[in-house]
Every structure is written in C-alpha cells, then in structure tokens.
Structure 1
C-alpha cells in the first residue's frame, strides 16, 4: 500500500514538473521569436538583444499567470506593458524606442 501511494505521489510530481517545464519552454520560445522580430525592426546590437530578451521573458511570464477574471487581465496587461516600456526605454536609444512603440507586443 505504501509503495502504491509513493508511486502515485511520484507520478503526480513528475506530471506537474513536466507541465511547468513546458510552460517555461513556451515562454522562452515566445520571447525569442519576439526579440528576433524586434531586432529586424528596431535594429539593436547583441548586448541590447540580451536585455530585450530578458524583459520579454518577464513580460510573457507575467501574462501567463492564471487570472481571476478578464478585467484583472487587462489591468495586469497595462501594468506589465508600462514595466516593459520603462525597462526598454533604459536599454534602447530614442530612435530605437520610437520604432519599438510602433510594433505591437
């Protein structure tokens, strides 16, 4: 009986770990794709690329959190968009930031 219970706990733990890993991979993939898209449009260097990628990972991770309702999601999206603007304004020059603002996240 103890072995069956231990096996069930192990399988549930493995399933949860796999799901979290898949979400992380999806977030990284989205951030990478968007960073490359922005690199073609905004034309930033490798150092800026790494910083933009990091900011976009935080953006997608924050948006991926479960939310209670639709109005909460819109409020969270406005909040994280302001965060992204603030961080990228520090990373990009004025011309690059203006090009970034024309591209939709």
Structure 2
C-alpha cells in the first residue's frame, strides 16, 4: 500500500501511512468475532488456494473467532449481468491508462 498521485483517496495520505500495520493488531482481536466463509463460487478452482483458505480458517478459529461455514452468498453467481459488462469495459480502459502512464 502507498500513495498514488492519480488517486485522490491515497494522495492525501502521504506521510500518514504506517510502515507496519501489525502494530495495530490486538492479540485477542478475533475473540467473539463471527466470520462467515462463502464457499460456493469461490472455492474448488485451485487446491493450493483452497489449502491456504483452510489454514486461514483454522488460524482464525484458534484465535477465538466463531466460524460460520459455509456462509454462501445467494447472489454471488449473478455477476454476469449488465453491471459486469460495465465493470469489464471500465477495467480495461483504466488498466490501459495506467499501463500507458508507466515509464
């Protein structure tokens, strides 16, 4: 993370970004947290990624979180409509503009 001169949201953060976010973590920060794991549409594509997810779930559980598994999102598969087409168009244009700005 850092400052992007073309991004108003980060431009003003210059000099205010901590070098290491871990100083803000609390050892018992996940106690009483309830974390849902949406599996449908997000898992099953890569054994390595699924293993990393399982390790992260175990770590959060070991740190005191209550894991709701699965906590699937019924509309997660609906991302193919008109708004997705707009996203794809804008992403391409913005990515091309970014790549054009590189030296």
Q: What TM-score range do you get, normalising by the shorter chain?
A: under 0.3
TM-score normalised to the size of structure 1? 0.24
Structure 1 or 2: more strand by fraction = 2
Instruction: Considering Cα pairs closer than 8 Å and 6+ residues apart, tell me whether 1 or 2 has the greater RCO.
Output: 1
TM-score normalised to the size of structure 2? 0.24
Structure 1 or 2: more helix by fraction = 1
